[in-house]
Every structure is written in C-alpha cells, then in structure tokens.
A = this chain, B = another copy of it.
Amino acid sequence: MKTYSISEVAKILNLTVYTLRYYDKEGLMPFIERTSSGIRMFKETDIDALRIIECLKSTGMPIKEIKNFIDWCSDGDSTLQQRYNMFIERKATVEAQMEELKKTLELIEHKCFYYETALEAGTEDIHKKNKIEITY
C-alpha cells in the first residue's frame, strides 16, 4: 500500500508541512503511522480524513471541536449518535452561512452598480440627495 510523506500530503492538500504538524500536535491525526525512525507515513485513508478535517474547518469549526470529532471516531460505534448530530448541526450552520453570503453578494452587486454609474457620470454626486454627505 502506497504511503505519502508529509511534504507530499502538504502539496496534495495545499497546506504547509507546518500546518500538518500543528494539526498532529493538536491531536487531529492520531491515526498517522510512523516509520521505525519516527517519520510520518500518510495512507490514502489518512488523506481522506484530512479532507474531512479541511471540510469541517471550512465551515468555521474550531480545531478543538474537530478534535472532539476525531476522538469520537477513535471511540467507535458508541459515539455514532454524537457524530451524526454534529454533522446535522454543521449542515445547518453551512446553510446559514450560504444565506448570509447571498445577502452579502446582493449588497456587493448593488455597490458594483453604484460605482459603475458613478464612474460613467464621473462623480459620486449623482447618488446623493444632499451633495454635502459622503456615502461610504
């Protein structure tokens, strides 16, 4: 079974070796095996696990909470409910984030339009009722 070095994994996942070692130090990678001389050997399944970690991270989950999940995984079937609950909760937060982003995008698109017309007019004043105000 092929294994990967830390720098190979860093390249694959677009992370730095520092970050990977930091994750290991924080207990996010209890599954990584080592050579007799202590060098980490990453299996394909380890890389998949890291992808899940990255996925959770991208939902804004702090590393300490991700560690809880990793610990539950090591604990086996007795923690299935917790893990399920966690993903259901994550699903809700991501959906909320998408809603947030949608609103953000709308405001930004409005501003794009605002500046487009201001550029055409050569001045922002066309958007101001009262020309003394500055609109941010």
Q: Chain A residues in contact with chain B, CB under 8 A?
A: 31, 45, 48-49, 51-53, 55, 58-59, 70, 73-74, 76-77, 80-81, 83-84, 87-88, 90-91, 94-95, 97-98, 100-102, 104-105, 107-109, 111-112, 115-116, 118-119, 122-124, 133-136
Contact = CB atoms under 8 A, between A and B. Distances in A.
11 contacts: A51-B107, A76-B124, A77-B122, A80-B115, A80-B118, A83-B115, A87-B111, A88-B112, A91-B112, A94-B104, A95-B105
Question: Would you list the 8 A-B pairs with minimal beta carbon distance, nearest first?
Answer: A49-B136, A84-B115, A87-B111, A87-B112, A55-B107, A77-B123, A94-B105, A73-B136
Contacts of A73: 134-136
A112 to B, nearest CB: 5
The main secondary structure of chain A at its interface with chain B is: helix
Nearest to A90: B108
Nearest to A69: B136
A134 B88 contact: no
Nearest to A77: B123
A58 B123 CA distance: 28
Contacts of A45: 133, 135-136
